[in-house]
Chain A
Amino acid sequence: QVQLQESGPGLVKPSQTLSLTCTVSGGSISSGSYYWNWIRQHPGKGLEWIAYTSYTGNTYYNPSLKSLVTISVDTSKNQFSLKLTSVTAADTAVYYCARLVNWGRGDTFDIWGQGTMVTVSS
């Protein structure tokens, strides 16, 4: 059973870079036609899709965040990562990693991590 686990600092200072990692266990990040995603949820708000990567490094970003975000994959470690630069209080959120699959009837996030809370504060 594939599982995802986010890791990273719980507190980041304004203007710094937030770095998060998602570790994939129970299966290879390189197997199957999956895309590996970051999604966040601001306190009291809805879910916001941030970016995805394939295991080959094909990426796509939410245009509203594209200039600040980099997603990358490390197949040797079975991990993918997110970097968000110049953070502000508006980046305070729970960050989730999730696997995206297409079963022929649309794209679906079939596996999620538990999420990690990130607070931006001095």
Chain B
Amino acid sequence: DIQMTQSPSSLSASVGDRVTITCRASQSINIYLNWYQRRPGKAPKLLIYAASSLQSGVPSRFSGSGSGTDFTLTINSLQPEDFATYYCQQSLSTPMFTFGQGTKLEIK
């Protein structure tokens, strides 16, 4: 299985900050990397697909980059609703999809 490692596992930031979350794959996955947001009591939400494509309806303060084994999710100008847990997911080895362990973004 392709292992996905996110860092950091938790992060404290303030409204208006810029934050970056990293995801590393155990082998090259090209651009087959998606990012999701999970807020308590809400359905997980697709933010970014294919490493850098913004899902329709997602605010432009979210962006993704990377290819191969190293990827980043950046959130510019944090808003209160952005405090959540974020997951990366690889889709190279479909359908054996694997996810990162999550990064919990908390208010400082």
Contact = CB atoms under 8 A, between A and B. Distances in A.
Interface of A: 4, 35, 45-49, 52, 60, 62-63, 96, 98, 100, 103, 105-115
A27 to B, nearest CB: 15
A21 B42 CA distance: 18
A contact face: mostly helix, strand, loop, or mixed: strand
A52 B31 contact: no
B72 interface: no
Which bucket holds chain B's interface residue count?
20 to 34
Contact of A114 (B43, B49, B89, B97): B43
B49 A46 contact: no
A109 B46 contact: yes
B74 interface: no
Interface in B90-106: 91-92, 94-102
B43 A49 contact: no
B32 A60 contact: no
A102 to B, nearest CB: 8
Contact of A49 (B32, B34, B97): B97
